Amino acid sequence: MIVALLASPISAETVPVFPRHPPLLLAGLAAVLGESGHRVVVCDAFLERLGVEAAARKAIAPSPDLVVLMPNDVARETPPDVTAALAGRIRELADVPVVVAGIGDVRFLSRLLDSCPALDAALVGDPEISVPAYIRACGQSAPRGGEPRGGRSRFASGAAGGAAANAPVPPAPLHAGSCPAAERKSEQAGSSAHSGVPGLLLGGSPAPVRPAVVRDLDSLPEPAWDLVDLRRYVVLPHRGGRASHPILASRGCWWSRCAFCQDLACVKSPDYRVRSPQSVAREMAGAVREKGAEHFLFHDAVFPTRKEWVEELEGRLSDLGVRASWFCMARADAVKPDVLAAMKRCGATGVAYGLESGSEEMLRRMNKGHDLAAGEAAVRWTKEAGLDAVATFIFGFPGETVEMARQTVEHSLRLPLDIAQFLLVKWHQVPEGMLSEGDLVEDWDLSQFDYRGMVFVPRAYRTVGNLKLMRSYAYARFYLRPAFLARTLARVRSAEELRRYVRGGMTLISAMLNR
């Protein structure tokens, strides 16, 4: 079977916004389907700067038997109207089933299906088990033309126009009617003959569909990076100016209660699962050997900050002769000095924490689960361990006052941070009871570094312009401190590093200008 995997564009027309991170979920699904013997064609329409029309044509170009839209992946999300338009255009161009996968939010997907008759189904949760099960339900579990083909070792990249494919298999037609999708207009999810497909959502009234969950992450093959040109993704200065090889050590978040956290990609499900250090070390060793990776970025919502786990990873990497650096994100209340010291020994260069606010009241409203002191201690311990400390702060949570926002800026200045990111809270749906506290700007805010939803303007700000002004003020206060600039310049050791800081400065100016 030919499966087209499409990382969606983030807008209907081309916009001057580029992805910072490669599509990790898509590469993982491509690997699973390749191992199952399917021919997989992938395209990152966001990277290729394709609008809906061009992306739809790209999706159908290999005459696929199934098109899987992946609107959300690590650090990228697509407005639902763009996904709906894309599915609609694909179905106008070809008689091929179109499903959406890689999203963990049932309510979001129910609304999307209801608004988009062209979408045959949504596969909620981890796509690595839902999509193959869906294909089996279509009766197409093996490719036609003899023995199963494909597999990780047979992947070859470089098809024209940014699409890449594994080993070719003769195309064969599969019409929408041969998939469970054909029943979606008449059945409720969970009651069809295809209810064995985990996470299958067929539209209609929201049904109690549980997202598909891969319990044993070690059972998954390594992502099919052969199909993605990792060098083409934007490198941010705080990653050492080097391309970061993307990797996951876990999925989900054991806290999962922050009120602003609406990341739709199933990487942030409430089911927290951790890979074995052995499996992570093996993947890192492979990336070093085959892709020349030197630095890794763990995309985990919350990195497994258990000392034994980190020490075992260090041992496994040492056994495999891997010397590589890495960066991760963690919760401030989940690190201790001994864990951070172990992370440093294991190759970590820095840790990012979502500190969110400088107001205790705001942290409580956000249900962050820790206080200011926990954030301060985490940053201090991180620096004491010899690691870079990075923090993100957010503006625009319902109920925020200008005074609270100023407290956030002052808080960021007191901490010994190397990098601070100031973001606007972005929403797919503002929680009930909060909408009365301001205005929702319903068009998605697509700016280069923060393009993942709608902006909510708390009453105190009055306009979205004032809210963005607060973000610019925060960036200016943090980065234009003479002491900070002097410290940063003192770290410059080479012309390349200087170039990196210049690029970082331009990134900063872009953020300050709210682009």
Strands of the sheet with 200-201, listed across from one edge: 164-165, 39-44, 2-7, 66-70, 98-103, 121-124, 200-201
- Identified binder of ligand SF4 from the candidate list 331, 452, 468, 500, rule CB under 6 A: 331
Helix (H) or strand (E) holding 121: strand 121-124
Q: Under a CB-based contact definition with an 8 Å cutoff, are residues 24 and 156 in contact?
A: no
* Of 203 and 354, CB closest to ligand SF4: 354
* Of 233 and 303, CB closest to ligand SF4: 303
- Identified binder of ligand SF4 from the candidate list 255, 303, 475, 479, rule CB under 6 A: 255
- Identified binder of ligand SF4 from the candidate list 253, 346, 405, 512, rule CB under 6 A: 253
Of 161-169, 183-191, 254-262, 313-321, which segment contacts ligand SF4 by CB under 6 A? 254-262
Helix (H) or strand (E) holding 457: strand 454-458
* Beta-bridge partners for 422: 393
Q: How many residues bind ligand SF4 (CB under 6 A)?
A: 11
* Of 195 and 256, CB closest to ligand SF4: 256
Of 185-193, 222-230, 255-263, 471-479, which segment contacts ligand SF4 by CB under 6 A? 255-263
Minimum CB distance to ligand SF4, residue 252 (Å): 8
Of 56-64, 126-134, 249-257, 490-498, which segment contacts ligand SF4 by CB under 6 A? 249-257
Minimum CB distance to ligand SF4, residue 268 (Å): 5
423 binds ligand SF4 (CB under 6 A): no
* Of 120 and 300, CB closest to ligand SF4: 300
464-479 vs 402-414: helix axis angle to the nearest 10?
20
Question: Distance (Å, rounded) from C-alpha 159 to C-alpha 70?
Answer: 20
- Identified binder of ligand SF4 from the candidate list 94, 280, 301, 474, rule CB under 6 A: 301
Nearest to 217 by CA among 28, 1, 464: 28
Minimum CB distance to ligand SF4, residue 216 (Å): 21
Minimum CB distance to ligand SF4, residue 261 (Å): 3
Contacts of residue 204, Cβ cutoff 8 Å, sequence gap at least 6: 114, 184, 185, 187, 188, 189
Nearest to 403 by CA among 439, 463, 357, 450: 357
Of 149-157, 195-203, 252-260, 378-386, which segment contacts ligand SF4 by CB under 6 A? 252-260
Question: Distance (Å, rounded) from C-alpha 379 to C-alpha 331?
Answer: 11
Q: Where in 256-275 is the site for ligand SF4 (CB under 6 A)?
A: 256-258, 261, 268
Residue 74 amino acid letter: V
Torsion sign, CA atoms 474, 476, 480, 481: negative
Report in angstroms the alpha-carbon separations of 142 from 8, 73, 132, 193, 267: 26, 27, 11, 20, 28
Q: In degrees to the nearest 10, what's the CA dihedral of 317, 320, 323, 329?
A: -30
Question: Distance (Å, rounded) from C-alpha 328 to C-alpha 313?
Answer: 14
* Beta-bridge partners for 76: 73
Q: Where in 116-145 is the site for ligand SF4 (CB under 6 A)?
A: none
Minimum CB distance to ligand SF4, residue 255 (Å): 5
Q: Under a CB-based contact definition with an 8 Å cutoff, are residues 449 and 237 in contact?
A: no
Question: Distance (Å, rounded) from C-alpha 245 to C-alpha 171?
Answer: 33
C-beta atoms surrounding 441 within 10 Å: 15
Minimum CB distance to ligand SF4, residue 419 (Å): 18
Minimum CB distance to ligand SF4, residue 306 (Å): 16
C-beta atoms surrounding 495 within 10 Å: 8
* Of 228 and 258, CB closest to ligand SF4: 258
Minimum CB distance to ligand SF4, residue 241 (Å): 26
Nearest to 211 by CA among 323, 128, 274: 128
89 binds ligand SF4 (CB under 6 A): no
* 442 token code pair: 């319903």
* Of 255 and 478, CB closest to ligand SF4: 255
426 binds ligand SF4 (CB under 6 A): no
H-assigned helices in 195-306: 277-291
Q: Where in 196-225 is the site for ligand SF4 (CB under 6 A)?
A: none
**Backbone φ, ψ for residue 140 (5° rounding):** -125, 45
Minimum CB distance to ligand SF4, residue 434 (Å): 16
Minimum CB distance to ligand SF4, residue 92 (Å): 37
375 binds ligand SF4 (CB under 6 A): no
Q: Where in 354-373 is the site for ligand SF4 (CB under 6 A)?
A: 354
Residues that bind ligand SF4 (CB under 6 A): 253, 255-258, 261, 268, 301-302, 331, 354
